[in-house]
Structure 1
């Protein structure tokens, strides 16, 4: 039986916003995720928003689409990646 692909997976892989490194959201390193997203948005000529917004939007999109299927450990890593991403772009942390 062939597994049906979801539209959200298609967006993540074929977004006009940026070209993502393969399986980057599976990384156990928040720093690696943040740096990969930063590299991707800085190299992309197709994104419509500023680099920080494009990178954060893709990360947030992934977290939201994974929803309750994310383990607590994976969610913690991805939330830490948001913090690292803000730091990588010199953005203040939310209060």
Structure 2
């Protein structure tokens, strides 16, 4: 797994926490519906943190 900065780790942790609470929404500015799939939540977290999925899998 690629090393992530502390700021990226914090962002991922925040987004996944929102998912677990049920407040994470998809789409630009949360316009979409609630995210129900953990894989989608992870993709959103990595995207917001600026980490590609390929980097996180190394």
Interval of TM-score (by shorter of Structure 1 and Structure 2): 0.3 to 0.5
Radius of gyration: which is bigger? 1
TM-score by length of 1: 0.26
